[in-house]
Structure formats: C-alpha cells, structure tokens
Amino acid sequence: MPLLVMKFGGTSVADLARIRGAAEKVAAEVARGHDVIVVVSAMAGKTNELVGWVGSISPLYDAREYDAVVASGENVTAGLMALTLQEMGIPARSWHGWQVPLRTTSAHGSARILEIPRTNIDAKFREGMKVAVVAGFQGLSPEGRITTLGRGGSDTTAVAFAAAFDAVRCDIYTDVDGVYTTDPRITRKARKLDRIAFEEMLELASLGAKVLQTRSVELAMRYSVPLRVLSSFEETLETSGTIVCAEEELMETNVVAGVAHSRDEAKVTLTHVQDRPGIAAAIFGPLADAGVNVDMIVQNISDGGQTDMTFSCPVDQVLRAERAMTEAMARGDISFDALVADTEVAKVSVVGIGMRSHAGVAARMFAALAAEGINIKVITTSEIKISVLIDRKYMELAVQALHDAFELHRPG
C-alpha cells in the first residue's frame, strides 16, 4: 500500500477544531488508498509557553531538561490527533519519539537524526493500523534521554520519516498555499508555482522565503523525497500547493523561478585595510566568533598594498561587527582607516536552475534595475542565483521590475 507522510505545523493544529480539520485531510488520503504517517507540531503557542518557563528558571539551563520539557507539546498533539482519527473510524495510534524510536545524536536542542528503524511502526501497519501519528521535533539519544531537533525540526522529522518509509511524497501543511514566484504582498502578479526544484527551494529558503526550513529541503533532496507545500485551511485538490522535487521531474520551466528579498540588511566597509595573505581570516574569524552572520563579501582591487573590504550582514548585527573589528585592531591583528556602515540597504535575488543553461540572466537583471534608476551596491552570484544589494527604499520597485522582466506571472 503506498505510504504518504503528512506534516501539520502549529497553526494547523492550534485547537481541537483545527486538529479535526487536519484529521479530515488525513482521512481523505486514507480513503484514496494510502497508509499515512502524520507528523505533528505542538499546538500554536504551547512551545513558547514551555520555552518561556525553562528560560525564566535559568538562562543557562540544562539542555537535556529543556528537551524533556519542550517535547511534551508535540506529545499532546499526537495523542489528540490519534483520538480524533479514531473518532472518525480510522485505526490510528500516537508515537512519541522514544517509542519509534527515532534515534538522534546527543546534541540536545539541535540533535541530528541518526536512524529511524521501521520495525515497530511497520508491525502496527501489518496489524491494520492505517495512520501512525508521530510527535515531531523529538527523538531519543544514545543515553536514553529525550532530544529535540531544533529549528525546523518538525519539517525535518517528516522528511526523515518519508525517506525511512519510502513514502510516495511528504506533504507539508502550513498556513500558505504554496511557493510563490515572489512575495504576493509586494506584487499582485506573484504566481504560485506548481513545481520547483530542490536547489531552487534551498536558495529561496536561505534568501528569506519562510515556507520551508533549509534543513528539511536538504534532507528531501539527499533522499529524493518529493515534498508538497500546501495550505491546511483550503480544500486539498490534486493540483493544490507546490511540489518541490528533483530537477529531472520538472517540465521545461522559466529560466528564473522566483525573486527573493531580504529587507533588513546592512553594508559594512573597512577602508584602507592592509592587503596581505591571511587578512580575510583575520577579519572574518573575529566576526564569526562575535556571532555576525556575514553574507556577501567584496574585496576591491589592491592599491599600494591596501584595499577596501565590504561585507553585508543583518542590520541588527552592525554594532556587534563594529565592536569585533575595533577589538581586532586594538589587538594589532588588522588595521583599517574607517568602518563605514550603510544600514539602509536590502538584498534582492533571482533564483533559477535555468540559469545554468541560459546566458544573459545577469545582464537582463542589471538592465531591468538600471531602467528604474536603481543603483547596485554589491553583487554576488552562484550557479543558480544572482543577488544584489540596493538602497532599501527601492526594494519593492526592484522586485516588481525583476518579476516583470523575467515574465514570472506567466507559467513556465
């Protein structure tokens, strides 16, 4: 019997009515002939309550106890979902992480999945169970303690189960109805994508699209698990949502799949840095140690043994960056004339696997921005992405111009 994994996030199971709505979607898949593994998050707000309690006892809490407390939120949802399915006449039972057992490393709070043995759950499917409801976000350490998987852990749990059980697909139910060519709040022309490649989704996720966590997309790509992102709050049709899949499974598509943006960026320039071997490490090592997430990096051509070094980071990390650089200079590790921070910039990116085979994407992008009089401050590129830093006030205009220039309102 084909097996489907369905994952419901916190807003999709926020109360008993929504749990029932989610259960009805599960029932529909059972009626279509699927065995189902349902992965659930904690009811919206519950995890925050638990995390708040732990944090207020001690900022330096024991991560093992944190995990034991916080994982209980998912356990409650799993039981309530199993009960709701049973009430609808569907043979279902709940599974806590340790019951599966979903084995993880001992890195409490951000454990990595080691193994999901199929034995226990498969035995119940053979006995007639139609739905295994699994508490997401949690596992069992080699020491027999409860672990949690950290940010995006429930999505990752779902994908890992889909890989372990050879699922036909992993459906991620959330509060949006799919992946869009760009943020629909910026342009009405934004179009829901029917399909997108894993690589494109990864770039979009890391560029600020909040639909899927990078980690779960990486895992799905590694194990070739097709993902579908769709809404908990709309009727599910064959065509609902967006399928995230391997490149080979895409039909001919647009060269560019989407336009992403990240509003709160800053550009920091160190002027007249001594240009010598090891200078990049001397600058970016201390920045990493200070917790500054450096994104784009540009180094000007050296002029008389000196250069300007420019990088971008989230705007709320600029002070931290300044402190780290000032301290590095005080220690004599680096030298520079001035640190110039521009905190009024944003990043706009175009992403598409079609770029690999189509030349001229960069030129078309720069022309579209130039036609609107938008100056480009920094450029970085990867095989399937081009990002530019621009004045923040032009961000929406840039997104709209690029969406038009690459004709993203038209299906590929």
Residues forming contacts to its own copies in the complex (CB under 8 A) are 16, 50, 53-54, 56-58, 61-62, 64-66, 68-69, 72, 75-76, 78-80, 82-84, 86-87, 93-94, 96, 98-99, 144-146
DSSP state letter for 303: B
Q: Of 47 and 174, which has the nearer Cβ to its own copies?
A: 47
Q: Give one word for 297, left, alpha or beta, with left for phi > 0 and alpha for psi -120 to 50.
A: beta
Please report how close the Cβ of residue 96 comes to its own copies at its closest, in angstroms. 7
Tell me how far apart the alpha carbons of residues 134 and 97 are, in angstroms, rounded to a whole number: 7
- CB burial readout 189-222, b (16+ within 10 A) else e: ebbbbbbbbbbbbbbbbbbebebbbbbbbbbbbe
Please report how close the Cβ of residue 1 comes to its own copies at its closest, in angstroms. 23
Q: Which residue intervals of 101-213 are DSSP H helices?
A: 119-126, 153-164, 198-206
Q: Of 44 and 76, which has the nearer Cβ to its own copies?
A: 76
Q: Of 72 and 110, which has the nearer Cβ to its own copies?
A: 72
Encoded tokens for 116:
């999901």
Q: 188-193 long-range contacts, Cβ below 8 Å, gap at least 24?
A: 189/400, 189/403, 189/404, 189/408, 189/409, 190/403, 190/408, 190/409, 191/408, 191/409, 191/410, 191/411, 192/242, 193/242, 193/257, 193/258
Please report how close the Cβ of residue 73 comes to its own copies at its closest, in angstroms. 8
Within a 10 A sphere around the Cβ of 327, how many other Cβ atoms?
12
Q: Of 79 and 285, which has the nearer Cβ to its own copies?
A: 79
Q: Omega into 2 within 30° of 0, i.e. cis? A: no
Please report how close the Cβ of residue 76 comes to its own copies at its closest, in angstroms. 5
Please report how close the Cβ of residue 166 comes to its own copies at its closest, in angstroms. 24
Instruction: Name the residue type at position 279.
Output: I
Tell me how far apart the alpha carbons of residues 163 and 181 are, in angstroms, rounded to a whole number: 28
Q: Of 58 and 302, which has the nearer Cβ to its own copies?
A: 58
Q: Of 68 and 290, which has the nearer Cβ to its own copies?
A: 68
Within a 10 A sphere around the Cβ of 379, how many other Cβ atoms?
14
Please report how close the Cβ of residue 371 comes to its own copies at its closest, in angstroms. 58
Please report how close the Cβ of residue 21 comes to its own copies at its closest, in angstroms. 13
Tell me how far apart the alpha carbons of residues 74 and 314 are, in angstroms, rounded to a whole number: 32
Q: Of 26 and 82, which has the nearer Cβ to its own copies?
A: 82
Q: Of 61 and 223, which has the nearer Cβ to its own copies?
A: 61
Please report how close the Cβ of residue 61 comes to its own copies at its closest, in angstroms. 5
Encoded tokens for 241:
């949502």
Please report how close the Cβ of residue 317 comes to its own copies at its closest, in angstroms. 30
Tell me how far apart the alpha carbons of residues 108 and 67 are, in angstroms, rounded to a whole number: 7
Tell me how far apart the alpha carbons of residues 39 and 225 are, in angstroms, rounded to a whole number: 15
Please report how close the Cβ of residue 43 comes to its own copies at its closest, in angstroms. 9
Please report how close the Cβ of residue 17 comes to its own copies at its closest, in angstroms. 10
Q: Of 76 and 282, which has the nearer Cβ to its own copies?
A: 76
Q: Of 93 and 409, which has the nearer Cβ to its own copies?
A: 93
Q: Of 60 and 237, which has the nearer Cβ to its own copies?
A: 60
**Residue 19's closest CA among 63, 74, 70?**
74
Tell me how far apart the alpha carbons of residues 267 and 298 are, in angstroms, rounded to a whole number: 10
Structural element, H or E, at residue 3: strand 3-8
E strand segments, 85-168: 92-95, 103-104, 113-115, 131-135, 138-140, 146-148
